[in-house]
Amino acid sequence: MATILVTNDDGILAEGLWALAKALAKLATVYIAAPDRERSAIGHAVTMSRPLRVKRYGEKAFMIDGTPADCVKLALENILPERPSLIASGINRGPNLGTDIFYSGTFSGAMEGAFYGIPAIAVSLVEKFTKEAYDSAAEEALWAATMILAKGLHPETVLNINVPAPVKGRSLSILAPRLYSKAFQERKDPFGREYYWMAGEVITGSFPENADVNVVARKQTSITPVNFSLERISDPLPYKKWPLE
């Protein structure tokens, strides 16, 4: 039977984590390695300046005082009895669309697994954070996991999956730019000192029909293959005429 590693950035107590693990248990033996508390928007940070502590949270569940990337790296190198067939990160409370994935701990947990050459998915629930909505998102993740284990996933690729509520189908999608206006609110504390709180609004724009933001707006599950091949990212061609000496 296949083995799947589940992680997240909302922490070991998050409802979405357990909904995801429960659904994937229909397909494989599931292990959980998740942060001991919320680590949202931490990106791909790893811990280097202090030791990491691991505590059991169940027979096959482990709570780690680190980031999602820490959890996956530690699970693969020190905790799991065997290499998993798939890594699933989520289910995040809220969307991870467009360029937001570069801030997302959910996406980074999946990408850390993909660095090791393991197929990986990142799953996010866009709205309506009810048990029914999480269960629906978990079934979408189960479908994706079933497809990957049966058909494979292109190397250096993570499937970024965003699930609306209710779901009215699925669509392959591309990433759309996602920027925010008035990203910071200026406030004052009780002592009159200024501080800033990130609380911007999404800037809407005209994006292709298959952009992830448009797909979820149509109440379809957005399935975005994200390839991080370094050969494709690095493009020296436009700078060939620069004098290097």
Does any domain span residue 57?
A: yes
Chain segment 52-64, per-residue pLDDT in tens: 999 999 899 999 9
pLDDT tens-digit series, residues 2-19: 999 999 999 999 999 999
Q: Is residue 201 part of a domain?
A: no
Q: What is the overall mean pLDDT for the chain?
A: 94
pLDDT digits (tens, 9 = 90+) for 168-186: 999 999 998 877 767 788 9
In a domain, 215, yes or no: yes
Beta bridge partners of 185: 197
Name the nearest CA neighbour of 28 among 64, 60, 62, 76: 60
Instruction: Tell me the CB-side half-sphere exposure of residue 205, using CA atoms within 13 A.
Output: 13
| Total domains present in the chain | 1
Specify if 198 maps to a domain: no
- 76 belongs to a structural domain: yes
- pTM score: 0.92
Q: Beta strand 86-93 with 3-7: parallel, antiparallel or unpaired?
A: parallel
Show the domain range for 129. 3-176+207-229
Which CATH number characterizes residue 88's domain? 3.40.1210.10
Over residues 61-69, the mean pLDDT reads 98
**CA-CA distance, 8 to 4, in Å (whole number)?**
13
Tens digits of residue pLDDT in 141-173: 999 999 999 999 998 999 999 999 999 999 999
